[in-house]
Every structure is written in structure tokens, then in C-alpha cells.
Structure 1
């Protein structure tokens, strides 16, 4: 805690930080005085900034839904509909007949 207070005191005496704070305060005052925002300043300094592609609006970690797959066992006529590979019957078929064979049963 004492180290943090010492670091804070050192920052208070930093001339560079004082100049930065003074600049920001004056800049915000000018923006308010003339009715501009930081976006206006960014567009003045970098006109291409608004033409850059925006980030995807889709939240990270979201993916498109899986497609439904339909497998038909030619030996029994049994049909399995699944969106993933974790289906109990499908796993049993793959153990019994082999994964490559069962994937061949996929209806198109």
C-alpha cells in the first residue's frame, strides 16, 4: 500500500503527466465551446477512419448452427437425425461398422 502511495505521489509530480492532463482539459473545453466531439476530431485527422470495415456485430464465441444430418442404416432401415456426432446410436454404428462406412450412409 505504501509503495502504491509513493508511486501516486511520483505521478503527481511528473511534468509530462501534468502537461497531458492540461492538454486534455483544454481540448475538451474547446470541443464543448465549439460543439464538436472527439469523433469530429478523429474524422478531421484521419478521414479514412470511417471507411474502414467495422468489427463484426456478432459476439465472440457465437457460431452458426449446425446442419441436420440424416443417416439411414441399410441393414436395419433405422434412421438417425442428428446435428452433432455425439448421438448414441450413431456411435454404436460407427463402432460396429466403422466410421467411414457409417459416413457413407449420410443422406444428401
Structure 2
């Protein structure tokens, strides 16, 4: 695209955006929102409160739930795994693990077979 074409495209987009901005400036709803925000900020500053404090005052249960959720995450309802002890009869090596993702356990299972290694549980 030539630079002139790009310039004209951007100029057209700018004109469209300026028209949208003028429409918003004349919108009564937006004027009311801006007025409300200005008065609210002045009121908060006058009494020395923050928005969070106001929300806590107006909705104490909602704020308490959010704070509790942040402070103490839910514990898992899953039962903790028990420790399994395997004793290799070929070399006398002992292995303690909570899961099946142990490097040595995997090696034994590939070498001797899963059923045989499970029979080594002490």
C-alpha cells in the first residue's frame, strides 16, 4: 500500500472516530455518569473512604466471602496417598514411594514386568 493511500485511510478513520466522540459528548446518559463519578469521588475524598471500604460497608457478606476465598484456598477432598515399600529380591534394594511415577520403579517394571514388581510389596 502506498503511503498516500495509508494516509488517506488513517485520515478517514480519524474523521469517523471524531464523529463518534462528538456523538458521545452530546449523550445525556454519559453526562450523567460523568457527573455521578465526579460527585462520588469528591464525597469519598471528603469522608476519607476508598471504594473497597464502601463496598464492604454496603455488601459485607460478599466482601467476607471474597476475603475468605483469598485467605484460605479450598483443601482437596482427595485422600493422601500411602507410602508403598518395594523390595527387589534380585539385588535386595528397597524402594519407598507414594506413586507409580518413580524412576527406579518404572525401570523395574520395564525390566521384570509390572505384575512381578507389584508382588514385591513389603
TM-score range, shorter chain: 0.5 to 0.7
Q: Which has the higher contact order (CA 8 A, sep 6+)?
A: 1
The structure that has the greater radius of gyration is 2
Cα displacement string for residues 73-100 of structure 1 (whole angstroms, at most 9, x for unaligned residues): 123212346676251x422311233224
Deviates more, 1:75-84 or 1:18-27: 75-84
Q: Distance in 1 between matches of 2:36 and 2:44?
A: 12
Residue equivalent to 2:86: 71
Q: How does the TM-score come out when normalised to structure 2?
A: 0.54
Cα displacement string for residues 26-79 of structure 1 (whole angstroms, at most 9, x for unaligned residues): 111101011112123112211213431222577xxxxxxxx9865321232123
Bigger proportion of residues as helix: 2
Q: How many residues align?
A: 99
CA 1:6–1:83: 2 relative to 1, 3 Å: farther
Q: Distance in 1 between matches of 2:25 and 2:117?
A: 71
**Over aligned residues, Cα RMSD in angstroms?**
3.7
Structure 2 unaligned regions, length at least 5:
1-9, 74-81
Q: How does the TM-score come out when normalised to structure 1?
A: 0.59
